[in-house]
């Protein structure tokens, strides 16, 4: 069955790459982007958060007259964080010539399924919400990442836990798929650079919260810290069960977890949980782009919450807009892709992005935050202090 799906994807990609099928976006007064992401299920806060941020950025631009007089629109399609559904939704996108690019797709396994199809069709992919290494491959000339890699995040974990705090016993909980294994590989590599190995590993199945067995196995190893590569609902379940069992290591999460959703799920149990971040604090009004983000969200998506995910969506939307300015009148997929490939430096207002030959990742910034007893976030400074 898997082989059949792969053959079907390849056949579709070849068809879409042909001169007959490779239709470009038609000149209209609106440029439409597609998002394929989890809008339902245990990872839904990630898809909806990215959607809210991109929507705010596009609405902000539209209120100022659009880009070159053209308005921007976003169609968000739900894949439930399941690769088969991602493929089905992307088939819909590729079958319609009006979509200019894929923006803000969420997840490693889902992007693994979609990116080859998008590459064959010449469809730009902007700001995937994942730090997976395969998306940083220089050969993917249609992919434009904003965020730092999972390798950078896991290195930041170990720099804090091992170098700053002197911990020697680190365990991991990870989602048993491409996303989780990318984090696992990063954690192992960061520890190997320090002459260490993980003391325990535990897994859970994507789109479930079945973490108890993993918890019991990990607890036997008596780790000082548990690093976690998962979505917010299963991670929250793991932390809650740990607290009930009086198992109190330091908990550290990857940015994909969805910080605001995790804090909300955990409530009082969240105090002290660490999350690595790849965008500025969304409440830090000393950063100009954060001020702009807050204003755009309040004006155009008033029901949305200020958090890390919607801020990342807003930044991705702003990146898409910057490239559009160089794409000329009535941009097509082809002209827009060329414009994106020509982007080298973007200043979004206190957040600089740098691209170049063989480098499709705009930001390398990673920093650690800690959930406060009130459910907010504070910076964890080098050396372990906040």
Please count the structural domains in the chain: 2
**Tell me, what's the pLDDT at 39?**
97
Q: Do 139 and 175 have their domain in common?
A: no
Angle made by CA atoms 156, 360, 323, in degrees to the nearest 5: 120
Q: Do 343 and 229 have their domain in common?
A: no
Please report whether residue 73 resides in a domain. Answer: yes
Please report whether residue 360 resides in a domain. Answer: no
Q: Do 294 and 253 have their domain in common?
A: no
Q: Do 257 and 322 have their domain in common?
A: no
Smallest CA-to-CA distance from 326 within 315, 314, 342, 349 is with 342
**Tell me, what's the pLDDT at 253?**
98
| Structural domain containing residue 168 | 150-277+367-380
Please report whether residue 386 resides in a domain. Answer: no
Please report whether residue 359 resides in a domain. Answer: no
**Tell me, what's the pLDDT at 14?**
36
**Tell me, what's the pLDDT at 328?**
87
Please report whether residue 50 resides in a domain. Answer: yes
Hey, what's the torsion of the CAs at 301, 302, 303, 304, to 10 degrees? 60
What is the residue-level pLDDT of the chain in tens, covering all 386 positions? 333 343 344 334 433 333 333 334 444 799 999 999 999 998 999 999 999 999 999 999 999 999 999 999 999 999 999 999 999 999 999 998 899 999 999 999 999 999 999 999 999 999 999 999 999 999 999 999 999 999 999 999 999 999 999 999 999 999 999 999 999 999 999 999 999 999 999 999 999 999 999 999 999 999 999 999 999 999 999 999 999 999 999 999 999 999 999 999 999 999 999 999 999 999 999 999 999 999 999 999 999 999 999 999 999 999 999 999 999 888 999 999 999 999 999 999 999 999 998 999 999 999 999 999 999 999 998 765 54
Q: Do 192 and 336 have their domain in common?
A: no
Q: Do 199 and 246 have their domain in common?
A: yes
Q: Do 67 and 121 have their domain in common?
A: yes
Structural tokens at position 21 = 């099928």
Q: Do 266 and 299 have their domain in common?
A: no
Please report whether residue 57 resides in a domain. Answer: yes
The domain that holds 110 is classified in CATH as 3.40.50.2300
pLDDT tens sequence across 274-322 = 999 999 999 999 999 999 999 999 999 999 999 999 999 999 999 999 9
**Tell me, what's the pLDDT at 271?**
97
Q: What is the DSSP string of 171-239?
A: EEEEESSHHHHHHHHHHHHHHHTTT---SEEEEE-TT----HHHHHHHHHT--SEEEEES-HHHHHHHH
Q: Do 372 and 231 have their domain in common?
A: yes
**Tell me, what's the pLDDT at 230?**
96
Sequence-distant (≥ 6) Cβ neighbours of residue 275 within 8 angstroms: 252, 253, 254, 255, 257, 259, 262, 368, 369, 370, 371, 377
Q: Do 83 and 210 have their domain in common?
A: no
Q: Do 67 and 103 have their domain in common?
A: yes
Q: Do 338 and 228 have their domain in common?
A: no
**Tell me, what's the pLDDT at 97?**
85
Contact, 6 vs 113, CB < 8 A?
no
Place of tokens 């003391």: 199
């Amino acid at each position: 069955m898997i082989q059949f799906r792969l053959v079907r994807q390849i056949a579709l990609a070849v068809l879409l790459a042909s001169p007959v099928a490779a239709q470009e976006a038609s000149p209209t007064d609106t440029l439409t982007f597609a998002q394929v992401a989890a809008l339902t299920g245990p990872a839904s806060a990630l898809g909806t958060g990215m959607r809210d941020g991109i929507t705010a950025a596009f609405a902000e631009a539209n209120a100022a007259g659009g880009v070159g007089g053209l308005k921007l629109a976003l169609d968000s399609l739900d894949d439930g964080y399941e690769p088969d559904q991602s493929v089905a939704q992307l088939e819909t996108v590729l079958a319609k010539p009006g979509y200019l690019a894929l923006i803000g797709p969420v997840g490693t396994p889902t992007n693994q399924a979609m990116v080859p199809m998008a590459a064959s069709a010449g469809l730009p992919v902007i700001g995937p919400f994942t730090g997976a290494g395969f998306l940083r491959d220089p050969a993917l000339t249609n992919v434009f990442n904003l965020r730092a890699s999972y390798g950078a995040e896991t290195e930041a974990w170990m720099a804090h836990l091992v170098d700053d705090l002197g911990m020697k016993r680190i365990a991991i909980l990870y989602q048993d798929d491409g996303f989780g294994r990318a984090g696992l590989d990063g954690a192992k590599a960061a520890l190997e650079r320090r002459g260490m190995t993980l003391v325990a590993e535990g897994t859970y199945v994507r789109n479930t919260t079945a973490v108890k067995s993993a918890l019991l196995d990990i607890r036997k190893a008596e780790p000082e810290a548990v690093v976690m590569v998962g979505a917010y609902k299963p991670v929250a379940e793991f932390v809650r069960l740990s607290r009930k069992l009086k198992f109190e290591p330091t908990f550290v999460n990857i940015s994909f977890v969805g910080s605001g959703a995790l804090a909300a799920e955990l409530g009082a149990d969240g105090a002290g949980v660490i999350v690595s971040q790849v965008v500025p604090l969304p409440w830090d009004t000393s950063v100009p782009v954060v001020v702009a983000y807050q204003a755009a969200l309040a004006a155009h998506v008033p029901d949305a919450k200020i958090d890390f995910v919607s801020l990342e969506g807003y930044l991705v939307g702003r990146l898409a807009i910057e490239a559009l300015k160089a794409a000329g009148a009535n941009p097509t997929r082809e002209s827009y892709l060329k414009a994106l490939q020509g982007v080298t430096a973007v200043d979004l207002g206190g957040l600089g992005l740098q691209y170049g030959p063989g480098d499709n990742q705009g930001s390398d910034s990673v920093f650690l935050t800690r959930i406060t007893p009130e459910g907010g976030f504070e910076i964890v400074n080098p050396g372990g202090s906040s």
